[in-house]
Amino acid sequence: MWFNEWKKSKSHGYEPEDVIDFHLTGGIGDKETDIMMRRAGTYTVSITQIVKADKEVVMNYKDLIKTTNSVMSLALSK
């Protein structure tokens, strides 16, 4: 449901940053069921995204505990 609403709002297309933002904010404000969840003893600690472009693959890792972001890329050869 949240994803379909988000996707409709991005009918012009979306960038990798938009997808990260969806994962950070998606839901209805209920920490038990939102994407960024917090339940008894269980909670979201990181978000990892992999984006493939023509000549490289980029991995974006967000550590939500340390509030750090790491980006790694790998060049692709044909």
Number of domains in the chain: 2
Summarised one tens digit per residue, pLDDT across range 17-56 is 999 998 888 888 888 888 888 888 889 999 999 999 989 9
Domain housing 66: 45-78
Q: Given pLDDT bands bounded at 50, 70 and 90, which one contains residue 3?
A: confident
Q: Specify the DSSP element, H or E, that contains 35.
A: none
Instruction: Kindly provide the residue ranges of all beta strands, DSSP E only, lying in 4-77, ordered along the sequence.
Output: 38-39, 42-43, 46-52, 56-63, 68-75
Q: Are residues 24 and 49 in the same domain?
A: no
- Fill in the DSSP letter of residue 28: S
Q: Three-state DSSP class for 18?
A: helix
CA 11 to chain centre: 18
Q: Are residues 49 and 38 in the same domain?
A: no
Taking the whole predicted model, whether its pTM rises above 0.75 is answered as yes
Q: Three-state DSSP class for 66?
A: coil
Q: Are residues 51 and 39 in the same domain?
A: no
69 has which bridge partners? 62
